[in-house]
Amino acid sequence: VQLQASGGGLVQTGDSLRLSCAASGLASHLYHMAWFRQAPGNKREFVAVINWSGSSTYYTDSVKGRFTISRDNAENTVSLQMNSLKPEDTAAYYCAASDANKYTNIRLTTTDKCDFWGQGTLVTVSS
């Protein structure tokens, strides 16, 4: 199983970025897909999650209205559209897969409920 995250970069405050995560060796339709982020010196924190079918999403409060998570099960990809970026969004962003049969409430998604992780893609937002 491999999750390959991409799309990070250096942007200015107010700019947009779109992160992508390609899953291989994984029946992605059996997993909820999530994005987490980790800033230097901080714990990895939850950002957004989308359920296995794409019918339900959930976001941490700080990104609501700015970030949008989506998925394409036919392509085994999940994306995170990030608009109106702020310096506090600077972090390494990780995609993760959580077994939809084990965890039915996506609002309770945490790092320990994720079975597979991507390698992280760095997002830097300058002020």
Name residue, tokens 């989506």: 70
Displacement of CA 16 from its chain's centroid (Å):
15
- Give the pLDDT of residue 72: 96
- Spatial contact of 58 and 105, defined as CB atoms under 8 Å apart: no
Render pLDDT for 101-112 as a digit per residue (tens, 0 to 9). Answer: 999 999 999 999
- Spatial contact of 67 and 78, defined as CB atoms under 8 Å apart: no
> Looking at the predicted structure, is the pLDDT value of residue 117 above 90?
yes
> Looking at the predicted structure, is the pLDDT value of residue 27 above 90?
no
pLDDT mean across residues, the chain = 96
- Give the pLDDT of residue 76: 94
Render pLDDT for 64-98 as a digit per residue (tens, 0 to 9). Answer: 999 999 999 999 999 999 999 999 999 999 999 99
DSSP type of residue 84: S
pLDDT band at 29 (very low <50, low <70, confident <90, very high): confident
Radius of gyration of the chain (CA): 13
In the structure encoding, which two tokens stand for residue 115, read together?
């079975």
